[in-house]
């Protein structure tokens, strides 16, 4: 019996929506008009997949059957294509509502169903919606899988980019091409950074949430268990507690390798001296030099620290350190250490007696400060 006979359950005709190509073009124009995510995509990239998706939907509904494995795979490909085109999942879901709504309107207003009972039409539309629900699950899955693959590809590209910046081995043209691929500004100024942390994955995630650390202003990756990358030089926000963030000088893209070397020195110096937070080379003064020049540190340690007797060295050196920090003001030193000024003066004179050096001499005071920092660096007082 034919589907017009009335003795069988009414079924949808494959031609229910008219010309599939024209229908797909109509739907595509509506998507581009109503959904911003579709506006920058050429119709030629959308129309064929819309036509194929509607054809599979109509075919399953016409045969009153569920979508088969091949059709479900095709719908997964439909979702994957939209992920590749940059259409977010929520925009795709909204787009599919428009597609199905247009199909239902075409069916409901067709002459074929004008003389049939409303219950018959409702039965067909229920079958259509069941097929649409299955399609939604399939294309959503395809979109998520494709999006995950895109993210992995971008992560790999991002990691490769940061590694290339750190090594400084890429020609300028290739460096700019890779930067453009991950969305960085080619004419922007950047500051390289290195963060030393016990939780690199968490720190990487945290920094990526900040606009100044993600494209187009920056990029973040994990390199040798440190969090490394480039950022907006104007972003001076502090990292989480316990993170030693070293920031290099601002520079163009081609100058990042040097900036990153400076950032690494700053981060390592901050770690060694237990100074968590965000630091630049200027913030730390000559501490990076104390770390980097052990010959000078050893010589000054021998000159100003070794002559002190171990029994009294601790109290004398703490007082000398506070005295230098107080601008060579004995009264202020006493306030800071909660000591009587006579005690302060005794300890200072004792230091000068044992070393044969005068702390009033600025050059001597500078050398003593260096020796004290080098002692701190090697005594376990600083974080290591």
Q: Are residue 276 and residue 305 in the same domain, yes or no?
A: no
Among 261, 281, 301, identify where a domain stops.
281
Q: Are residue 276 and residue 317 in the same domain, yes or no?
A: no
Report the C-alpha gap between 107 and 121 in whole angstroms. 9
Q: Are residue 276 and residue 359 in the same domain, yes or no?
A: no
Whether 241 is covered by a domain: the verdict is: yes
Q: What is the CATH number of the domain that holds 327?
A: 1.10.10.2840
Q: Are residue 105 and residue 218 in the same domain, yes or no?
A: no
Whether 139 is covered by a domain: the verdict is: yes
Q: Are residue 87 and residue 186 in the same domain, yes or no?
A: no
Q: Which among 265, 273, 270 is positioned nearest to 292, based on CA atoms?
A: 265
Q: For residue 153, how far is the Cα from the chain centroid?
A: 14
Among 221, 256, 281, identify where a domain stops.
281
Whether 137 is covered by a domain: the verdict is: yes
Whether 49 is covered by a domain: the verdict is: yes
Among 247, 281, 315, identify where a domain stops.
281
Contact 241, 208 (CB under 8 A): no
Strand 190-196, strand 219-223: pairing:
unpaired
Whether 260 is covered by a domain: the verdict is: yes
Whether 384 is covered by a domain: the verdict is: no
Report the C-alpha gap between 182 and 175 in whole angstroms. 11
- Give the pLDDT confidence score for residue 380 in this predicted structure: 62
- Give the pLDDT confidence score for residue 9 in this predicted structure: 56
Instruction: Residue 332: give the domain boundaries.
Output: 293-379
Q: What is the CATH number of the domain that holds 67?
A: 1.10.490
Q: Are residue 88 and residue 190 in the same domain, yes or no?
A: no
Q: Are residue 344 and residue 374 in the same domain, yes or no?
A: yes
Q: Are residue 275 and residue 351 in the same domain, yes or no?
A: no
Q: Are residue 60 and residue 141 in the same domain, yes or no?
A: yes
Report the C-alpha gap between 10 and 168 in whole angstroms. 70
- Give the pLDDT confidence score for residue 10 in this predicted structure: 62
Count of structural domains within the chain: 3
Report the C-alpha gap between 377 and 384 in whole angstroms. 9
Whether 316 is covered by a domain: the verdict is: yes
Contact 227, 209 (CB under 8 A): no
Contact 339, 265 (CB under 8 A): no
Q: Which residues pair with 195 in a beta bridge?
A: 227, 245
Whole-Å CA distances, 159 to 6, 156, 329 = 65, 5, 51
Q: Are residue 136 and residue 208 in the same domain, yes or no?
A: no
Whether 112 is covered by a domain: the verdict is: yes
Average pLDDT per 10 consecutive residues for the chain, totaling 384 residues: 48 76 95 95 96 94 92 96 94 96 87 71 89 96 90 82 86 89 90 96 92 94 93 94 97 94 97 96 95 95 92 92 95 95 95 95 96 90 47
Q: Are residue 256 and residue 303 in the same domain, yes or no?
A: no
Q: Are residue 107 and residue 192 in the same domain, yes or no?
A: no
């Amino acid at each position: 019996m034919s589907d017009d006979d009335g003795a069988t359950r009414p079924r949808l005709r494959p031609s229910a929506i008219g010309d599939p190509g024209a229908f797909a073009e109509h739907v595509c124009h509506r998507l581009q008009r109503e959904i911003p995510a579709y506006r920058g995509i050429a119709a030629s990239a959308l129309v064929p997949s819309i036509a194929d998706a509607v054809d599979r939907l109509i075919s399953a509904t016409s045969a009153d059957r569920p979508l088969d494995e091949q059709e479900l795979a095709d719908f997964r490909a439909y979702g994957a294509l939209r992920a590749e085109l940059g259409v977010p999942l929520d925009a795709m879901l909204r787009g599919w509502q428009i597609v199905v709504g247009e199909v239902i309107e075409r069916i409901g207003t067709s002459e074929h169903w004008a003389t049939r009972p409303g219950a018959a039409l409702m039965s067909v539309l229920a079958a259509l919606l069941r097929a649409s629900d299955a399609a939604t699950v399939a294309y959503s899955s395809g979109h998520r899988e494709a999006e995950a693959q895109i993210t992995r590809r971008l992560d790999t590209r991002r990691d490769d980019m940061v590694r290339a910046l750190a090594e400084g081995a890429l020609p300028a043209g290739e460096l700019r091409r890779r930067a453009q691929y991950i969305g960085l500004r080619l004419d922007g100024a950047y500051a390289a950074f290195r963060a030393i942390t016990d939780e690199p994955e968490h720190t990487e995630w945290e920094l990526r949430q900040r606009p100044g650390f993600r494209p187009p202003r920056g990029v973040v990756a994990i390199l040798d268990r440190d969090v490394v990358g480039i950022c907006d030089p104007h972003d001076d926000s502090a990292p989480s507690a316990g993170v030693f963030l070293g920031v290099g000088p601002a520079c163009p893209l081609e100058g990042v390798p040097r900036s990153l070397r400076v950032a690494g020195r700053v981060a390592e110096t901050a770690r060694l001296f237990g100074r968590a937070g965000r630091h630049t080379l200027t913030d730390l003064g000559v501490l990076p030099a104390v770390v980097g020049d052990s010959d000078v540190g050893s010589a000054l340690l021998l000159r100003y620290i070794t002559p002190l007797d171990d029994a009294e060295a601790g109290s004398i050196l703490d007082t000398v350190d506070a005295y230098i920090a107080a601008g060579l003001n004995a009264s202020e030193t006493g306030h800071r250490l909660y000591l009587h000024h006579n005690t302060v003066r005794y300890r200072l004179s004792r230091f000068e007696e044992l070393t044969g050096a005068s702390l009033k001499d600025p050059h001597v005071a500078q050398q003593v400060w260096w020796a004290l920092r080098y002692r701190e660096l090697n005594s376990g007082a600083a974080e290591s």
